Amino acid sequence: MVSNSETLLVVAKRPVPGQTKTRLCPPLTPGQAADLYACFLRDTLDIMRKVPHVRRVIGFLPEDARNYFNQVAPDMEMIRQRGTSLGQRLDNLLTDALVDGAARAVVMDSDSPTLPAAYLSQAFERLEGADVVIGPTRDGGYYLIGVKHPQPQLLRRVEMSTSHVLMDTLRLAEASGLVASLLPTWYDVDTITDLDVLESDIAGSSTDGNAAATRSWLTKMDWHNFNKPGNARLTHHSGLE
């Protein structure tokens, strides 16, 4: 069983049209992509709430987004992300949590709204025997990483947003003499293909989470029929912005 000294963090950005989920545009408009990410975020926070006995923290951007996240999740702590690269920001979040007294710290993405909450609980459990825990994604990255001691080399020396992030991180862990544990593979949503997988996943009820906000968005968009060749809705606004 985890204790209150366990810290679960999520990296999140305030949804802004034209700056959020831009790889989904087109067929989505910038406003639709931002609305969809807002749903991902709400569902991710609900997943975090299902993990008992942890300190829940939102690592947010941009600097002036604190009020937005306070309204979205008044029950969680807020920490502004620090660093010029994703690796630096992840390392700062984890290291700060450990310095603040966490025995184990795990940071996750906000792009996996159907992620089973059980995987997050497993992450803390795995860290009892491992030095680092990683949740792989199907595209070669990871949806979470957790440590019990600061490990800046695993985050600052890896080029992020590539198809070999996971393998590079595992190689660095091995070179550092660290024991790494891998959680079950899941997926994040960056592309339209990913979004189709998500829609099928939710429609088939193959996850332990409801993803209520995302499910509602997909239903309103009639996504099953939306992203089809020749559909005029691919180039027109849906009225949801």
Would you state the pLDDT for residue 89? 97
pLDDT of residue 239: 26
Per residue of the chain (241 residues), what is the pLDDT tens digit? Answer: 435 589 999 999 999 999 999 999 999 999 999 999 999 999 999 999 999 999 999 999 999 999 999 999 999 999 999 999 999 999 999 999 999 999 999 999 999 999 999 999 999 999 999 999 999 999 999 999 999 999 999 999 998 988 899 999 999 999 999 999 999 999 999 999 999 999 999 988 655 557 999 999 999 998 888 865 545 444 333 222 2
The C-alpha atoms of residue 169 and residue 145 are separated, in whole angstroms, by 10
Range 225-241 burial, b when 16+ CB lie within 10 A, else e: ebbeeeeeeeeeeeeee
In a domain, 1, yes or no: no
Torsion of CA 241, 61, 150, 45, to 10 degrees: -40
pTM of the model: 0.91
The DSSP annotation for 141-163 comes to: SEEEEEESS--HHHHHSS--SST
Residue 124 lies in a domain: yes
Which residue in 72, 2, 79, 85 sits closest to 44, CA to CA? 72
**Could you tell me if residue 241 is inside a domain?**
no
Q: Specify if 197 maps to a domain.
A: yes
**Within a domain: 107:** yes
Q: What is the pLDDT of residue 225?
A: 83
Domain total for the chain?
1
Q: Is 61 helix (H, G, I), strand (E, B) or coil?
A: strand
Cα separation, 11 vs 111, in Å, equals 10
CB neighbour list of residue 174: distance below 8 Å, 6 or more residues apart: 180
pLDDT of residue 229: 56
Range of the domain at 50: 6-235
CATH number at residue 85: 3.90.550.10
